[in-house]
Structure 1
Amino acid sequence: MTKLSRRFFLQTIGAAVASTVVGCTSKPILPVQGSAKRHIRLAFYTDIHARKEWDTPEALAMAAASINAQHPDIVLGGGDYITDGFQSSVATVAHRWDAYMKMHNNIQATLFPAIGNHDLVAALPEDGTPAAEDPRAIYLQKMGLARTYYAFDTLGYHFIVLDSVEVTGGKYKYRGFISPAQMEWLKQDLAALKSDTPIVVITHVPLVTAFYNVTQGVEFKPRPNRVIVNNKEVLELFSQHNLILVLQGHLHVKERYQWGNTTFITGGAVCGKWWRRGNWYKTKPGYNLITLNDNHVEWEYVEYGWQPRRP
Structure 2
Amino acid sequence: GDLAAQPKGARIVAVTHIPLVTAMQCYEPESWLDTPHNWTFVVNGRDVLRVLRDHDVLAVLQAHSHVYERIELNGMSFITTGAVAGADWRGSFLGTPEGYTEIAVSGRTVTSCYRTYGFSSVARQDVPI
TM-score (norm: length of structure 2): 0.83
Aligned partners of 1:199 and 1:245 also within 8 Å: yes
**2:21 maps to what in 1?**
208
1:258 shift after superposition: 0.6
Q: Which has the larger Rg? A: 1
Q: Among 40, 55, 59, which residue is 1:241 paired with?
A: 55
**1:262 maps to what in 2?**
76
- The structure where helix makes up a greater share of residues is 1
Distance, in Å, in 1 between the alignment partners of 2:118 and 2:44 is: 37
Aligned partners of 2:63 and 2:81 also within 8 Å: yes
Q: What is the identity, as a one-letter code, of the residue corresponding to 2:4? A: A
The alpha-carbon distance between structure 1 residues 261 and 242, as it changes in their structure 2 partners (threshold 3 A), is same
Alignment of 1:72-221 (within 5 A): 188-215=1-28
Runs in 1 of length 4+ with deviation above 3 angstroms?
214-217, 220-223
1:224 shift after superposition: 2.0
Q: What is the identity, as a one-letter code, of the residue corresponding to 2:96? A: T
String of CA shifts for 1:271-290, please: whole Å, max 9, x gaps: 001111x3211111000111
The alpha-carbon distance between structure 1 residues 296 and 221, as it changes in their structure 2 partners (threshold 3 A), is farther
**1:296 maps to what in 2?**
109
Equivalent residues, number = 121
The alpha-carbon distance between structure 1 residues 232 and 195, as it changes in their structure 2 partners (threshold 3 A), is farther
Aligned partners of 2:102 and 2:112 also within 8 Å: yes
Aligned partners of 1:269 and 1:287 also within 8 Å: yes
Q: Among 96, 117, 123, which residue is 1:283 paired with?
A: 96
Distance, in Å, in 2 between the alignment partners of 1:221 and 1:259 is: 27
Distance, in Å, in 2 between the alignment partners of 1:221 and 1:293 is: 42
TM-score (norm: length of structure 1): 0.36
String of CA shifts for 1:19-69, please: whole Å, max 9, x gaps: xxxxxxxxxxxxxxxxxxxxxxxxxxxxxxxxxxxxxxxxxxxxxxxxxxx
- The structure where strand makes up a greater share of residues is 2
SS of the equivalent of 1:191 reads coil
Q: Among 39, 46, 57, which residue is 1:232 paired with?
A: 46
Aligned partners of 1:275 and 1:309 also within 8 Å: no
Q: Among 87, 105, 115, which residue is 1:273 paired with?
A: 87
User: Which segments of 5 or more consecutive residues in structure 2 lack a partner in the other structure?
Assistant: 125-129
Distance, in Å, in 1 between the alignment partners of 2:112 and 2:39 is: 27
Distance, in Å, in 2 between the alignment partners of 1:221 and 1:268 is: 23
SS of the equivalent of 1:189 reads coil
Distance, in Å, in 1 between the alignment partners of 2:40 and 2:113 is: 24
The alpha-carbon distance between structure 1 residues 191 and 245, as it changes in their structure 2 partners (threshold 3 A), is same
The alpha-carbon distance between structure 1 residues 206 and 221, as it changes in their structure 2 partners (threshold 3 A), is farther
The alpha-carbon distance between structure 1 residues 303 and 201, as it changes in their structure 2 partners (threshold 3 A), is same
